[in-house]
Structure 1
């Protein structure tokens, strides 16, 4: 219980502190220093992510960082818990936005920072909005912004993956960027059902990239299944 209280206290205090950091970022943007602003945003996001993971007492192991190619990529990952976003921001050192659930857009301050790192908010029960969000994600990838997709659509809250929604693979296929599969192991153990935070051992495994422009039409049609199999193999 004490760890949970301390974590939430730190989380909310950092949110307030981030308003000062936001002013610095906005000054850079308003003065036309967009490249410097992007670097500042990425550094702030990484520092925040690592700090809130640290306060859970969790130990994180990362394997396969050498598999991340230069340039823009679409990271495709399984989704076990609310900590998956900070885990990927903090421990995979490549600036990235997320295809995130629309509910996060309602969270003050968090929403602003997610917009700064180029997240796209998706309403999965709204087909028209979902298509619009995917198109927005494709455009960001074409602009050179790496993205993260959780094709399960929701947290599994366990070590067992849900089925992948195939539509998200269009992000990579249309933008012609490599897919980098990422396996998250153990993050579901960081948060108990009563919302009590506890230490865990988490492992992130980055698998070799899939270059979608080299796939046949048959391979493209099975892309979602292929990526899921890669992640499932590492998960088990």
Structure 2
């Protein structure tokens, strides 16, 4: 377990900010996914918070996806399914939350990190926030996050990202395809615009926001089952010789 990895939640007026961090480019070991899900669920009981900002620490990567160290440690399909279910739980927690989630995507994001951005209801990014779905390159696929990503950018763009598994798509591309709502050239400008927007949204009628949230996510009630089934596919494939060799080769770079 990474001792320095953490989730923290700060609340100011009606806005909560959830921040995640791990030393390996803000990638997610399983315990951190569990803590993120808990942090989201805990906010659902708040009668004051209406708006949640999701961000990561630092000025480098926003999120490098799944922890490669933990992927290599998986020895059976049950453990694999449990690990990938961690991303499913986070996506479903955001989906079912009555709060409006605003993503602060300050840097590059890969795999599960793209899924997190896609799960937010509105995303601010910098022009350095390129995205990549590299899963096929290591023998698995972006199965769990696909519904969230396809919901935002469409199946055609998702197909393009998935098959071009070694290719970074620019922040401009991500904005053109609907993943990012606003893109700025500096973190300072991003933060200024994001907090102005979040403050405005937080003043809206909480009941109206909660009703709108249900409309935003209409047609996704089956995701509890769907994302768990997808986690099972990833949990099986992560044990393949192809994936084990690809992960080891990546770590040796």
TM-score by length of 2: 0.30
TM-score by length of 1: 0.32
